[in-house]
Amino acid sequence: MQLSKTFYALAAVAALASPALAADNMQGITATTIKIGNLGPFSGDAAVFNPLNFGPEAYLRYINDKGGIHGRKFETVFADSACNEAKGIAAAKKLIYEDKVFMIMGNPCSGVAMAIKPMLEQEGIPWMGPAANPKLTRPTSPAMFHTTYTGIESGEAMAGFALSNPAIKKIAIVEHSNDWAHGYCNPASDFIKKNGGEVLTRIAMERGSTDGTTQALQVKTLGAQAVLGCLYQPELIILLRDLQKFGVAATVVGALGADFDQTVQQVNSPAAVRDKFFQPYQFKAKIGTPALKEFEDMFVKYLKKDELPKAGPPTNFYYFGVPVGIVTVEGFRRAGPSPSREKWIAAIESIKDFDTGVLADTVTFSKDKHVGVSRMYAVGLDKDGKQTVYTAWGKPLPE
């Protein structure tokens, strides 16, 4: 009888502790599979970002087609956050405690990534993603890694490109009033002030805005020579259109919350973007050139029809997402035939000067540094409307 009481007492304790026990060291690993959670905005207005999830998924399917890693193939569980913190938390809980994934990959929405960070840290679940908020990995969080650029690197690249034009000193900032935007524009503002420029103003333009008249007129009145737009794609498009509408000649440098090709297409006005609109550029060569052709072929071969653009070739966000998959797989390759969370984390921290084949910079991590890349270029349309990658103002990257 006493044994029975002891058994039920232990069972009750186990039930209370079950979430923590669920996320054990080998969770998601079987003899033949590695289970990955792919969390992202697959519905709603933010679904424009889901190519950041499909890029790495294409790479996992490519690796599976080659036989997997150490005899294991990747099994992906997709979960929709709709770029909403509450939905993201619920989706992450399901991935961790019900689907029992080894790690979470993707998750481009910074608000969701920050919302689930405490849960990931509590359970020790690895995260590898493109969400830009620097606070995800600064200070270093043991199992969280940025293979792509945070807002610090991107914000400094935005400001640095603008200031590389000797005629630009006076700069206005138009931004969302959220952590994501501040993650870009705070470092950009600091960079401008430290490098001889002047921040004339910081103007709010909220998510869901349908008119940029106020912002455009303020920029015009102040005589800004450049505008840094820390905005998501829909609002950036509105700002570009209204700057053109009110005859504002300022150069515009957008953040990576927008896909360059889609933005240019949706602005639908050559005069608003040609030799005027630029973004930081993450890749070693221009999309569509032979240097990146293998990735285009990979996307087209391994992604389903509804995972690809409705028309035209795969765009910027597919390429921006794929390094998340490449480095995740490299971690498993280095972790050996008996992977665990600790081995995978140690393997990622051993990566130095690793060439993903797509990013402008090589990837280097260490125990104290979980942001892998920093060097970036810029992309824009030249005076003839040709998409051009620049190392600095007026200096095209050799093709």
Q: Are residues 77 and 104 in the same domain?
A: yes
Q: What's the whole-number mean pLDDT along residues 48-52?
A: 94
Residues 78, 116, single domain; the answer is yes
Angle CA 197–198–201, to nearest 5: 145
Quote the pLDDT of residue 384.
Answer: 94
Average pLDDT over residues 157-186: 96
**Same domain (yes/no): 115, 215:** no
Q: Is the pLDDT of residue 7 over 90?
A: no
Q: Check pLDDT > 90 for residue 354.
A: yes
Instruction: Read off the pLDDT of each residue in 3-32 and give the average, rounded to a whole number.
Output: 52
For residues 208 and 271, membership in a common domain is answered with: yes
Mean pLDDT, range 145-157, rounded to an integer: 96
- 159 & 222 share domain: yes
Contact present, 180 and 132 (Cβ < 8 Å): yes
Q: How many domains does the chain have?
A: 2
**Relative orientation angle of helices 260-267 and 233-245, to the nearest 10 degrees:** 40
* Contact by Cβ (8 Å): 353, 125: no
Whether residue 308 sits in one domain with residue 215: no
- Structural domain includes residue 17: yes
pLDDT average, residue stretch 281-295: 95
* Domain span holding position 72: 10-149+293-349
176 and 305 in a single domain? The answer is: no
Residue 286 lies in a domain: no
Looking at the domain assignment, is residue 231 inside a domain? yes
Whether the pLDDT of residue 18 is over 90: the answer is no
Co-location of 195 and 317 in the same domain: no
Q: For the beta carbon of residue 204, count every other beta carbon within 10 angstroms.
A: 13
**Whether the predicted pLDDT of 20 surpasses 90:** no
Q: What's the length of the chain?
A: 399
pLDDT digits (tens, 9 = 90+) for 207-266: 999 999 999 999 999 999 999 999 999 999 999 999 999 999 999 999 999 999 999 999
Assess whether 100 and 144 both reside in one domain.
Answer: yes
Q: 45 and 139: one domain? A: yes
Residue range 301-319, pLDDT digits in tens: 999 999 999 999 999 999 9
For residue 118, tell me if it sits in a domain.
yes
Tens-digit pLDDT profile for residues 378-397: 999 999 999 999 999 999 99
- Report the pLDDT value the prediction gives residue 23, as an integer from 0 to 100: 53
CATH for 234:
3.40.50.2300
CA 251 to chain centre: 24
In a domain, 3, yes or no: no
pLDDT at 8 over 50: no
| CA distance linking residue 267 with residue 62, whole number of Å | 35
In a domain, 233, yes or no: yes
Whether 136 and 219 map to the same domain: the answer is: no
pLDDT digits 0-9 by tens, 209-218: 999 999 999 9
Mean pLDDT throughout 114-128? 97
Inside any domain, residue 334? yes
From CA 288, how far away is CA 314, in angstroms rounded? Answer: 9
- In terms of C-beta density within 10 A (0-12 exposed, 13-18 middle, 19 or more buried), how is residue 280 classed? buried
Span 107-114, average pLDDT: 93
Quick one: 159 and 274 in the same domain?
yes
